[in-house]
Amino acid sequence: MDTLYKQSPMRIVRRVSQTSLIRTAFDATSTAADVVTGQNLTGVRAIVTGATSGLGRETARALASVGADVTLAVRNTALGTSVAEDIAASTGTRTVRVAHLDLADLATVTRFTDTWDGPLHLLINNAGVMRPALGRTPQGWELQFATNHLGHFALALGLHDALAAGANQQGTARIVAVTSGAHMYSPVVFDDIHFTHRAYDPQLAYGQSKTANSLFAVEATRRWAADGIVANAVNPGGVSTGLQRDFTQDMKDHLDRLEAAGVFAYKTIEQGAATALVAATAPEFAHNGGHYLDDGNEAVTVPDHVDLAGNSHAVKRWARDAASAQQLWEVSLDLVRQR
């Protein structure tokens, strides 16, 4: 479960009051097409990671449908080419490109960022993995954290200048970090991020990586606001995608219990992609960063001790904590520089 636009530049404001949450015209029933209807993104350059299926594919399709120049950043370029052709055929656009990117292999991230040319206006960090068994990168990093957070962190870092150029050109550049309600299962455990000493739990590992996605949005906005770059985290909600392909029966049963208890209701892929497109294109988030969005709106922040049940549309404090966000940035910077 996973669970611009030409604007004039203005000072970026981070709202923290629970009584002034940012609201939009969209909700849980909105679709990707609903969000982009009436928009014209001609001249907007976007990157969508993990765009060969599911939420990434639908996000890319919606952006292309209103004129954006979209690059599908994918591991399987042959499949990516097929998806690009399908998007072109269904939207009538030819501005869909394909580039190789494996977020678990930072050498490919570097090649991608080194070969990117020109400004960038939208970076949609959508790709992700959910692994039932412990996996590690060649550096020894836990695979879910390495893919879901560190790869995207390195990607954004390498594309900073392109995003700054995009902001200078259009008035703003946006990063969208796809997180999940699973962030409620774990903070970032700085003492043992990679499960070197503690017993591996795939749910905790995934939750930690999703908390990291949210913390990235907080710190990226703090550091890059002066460059016109904002980052927001989005929870797509419960969507059945390829992310669940490797689930064990216990993991499937766990989701079934949560659904039966009313913790979440499954959305269509079109509905799941809507919140990412709100963060990417809605005027309410053109100059507002560091937020966590759910069902198209900024979510309420709840204490760390609460359970997922009854709070599935909220964000825990540990996923928005400024000190943790700064610490994660420094830890991540050290890791990607030591590779």
Average the pLDDT over 30-57 and give the result: 97
Give the model confidence (pLDDT) of 167-183 as tens digits.
999 999 999 999 999 99
197: confidence class by pLDDT, cuts 50, 70, 90:
very high
Distance CA 96, CA 132 (A): 33
Structural tokens at position 154 = 């390195």
Of the listed ranges 1-15, 48-62, 113-127, the one predicted with least confidence? 1-15
DSSP structural state of residue 333: H
Least confident of 29-33, 289-293, 306-310: 306-310
Per-residue pLDDT band for 257 (boundaries 50, 70, 90) equals: confident
Residue 252 pLDDT grade (very low, low, confident, very high; cuts 50, 70, 90): low
* Tokens describing residue 55: 């939420």
Angle at CA 199, nearest 5°, toward 256 and 316? 55
Determine the pLDDT at residue 97. 97
According to DSSP, the residues that pair with 73 across neighbouring strands are 49, 99
* pLDDT confidence of residue 309: 82
Mean pLDDT of 83-98: 95
CA of 70: how far to CAs of 44, 181, 309, in Å? 8, 27, 37
111 SS3 class: helix
Handedness of CA 210, 211, 217, 223 (dihedral sign): negative
What angle in degrees, to the nearest 10, is found between the helix axes of 54-65 and 77-91?
Answer: 40
Per-residue confidence (pLDDT) for residue 100, from 0 to 100: 98
Contact 64, 280 (CB under 8 A): no
Name beta bridge partners: 49.
73
What pTM does this model have? 0.90
Predicted pLDDT at 3: 36
Distance CA 67, CA 163 (A): 19
Q: Residue 124 is encoded by which pair of tokens? A: 């949609």
Which of 9-23, 213-227, 248-262 ranks highest by mean pLDDT? 213-227
Instruction: Give the distance from CA 234 to its chain's centroid.
Output: 6
Identify the pLDDT of residue 2. 42
Average pLDDT of the segment spanning 44-58: 97
158 with 99: CB under 8 angstroms?
no
Task: Provide the pLDDT confidence category of residue 194 given band limits of 50, 70 and 90.
Answer: very high
Question: What is the percentage of the chain residues whose pLDDT exceeds 70?
Answer: 87
> Hey, which residues are catalytic here?
206
Tokens 């399987």 locate to: 76
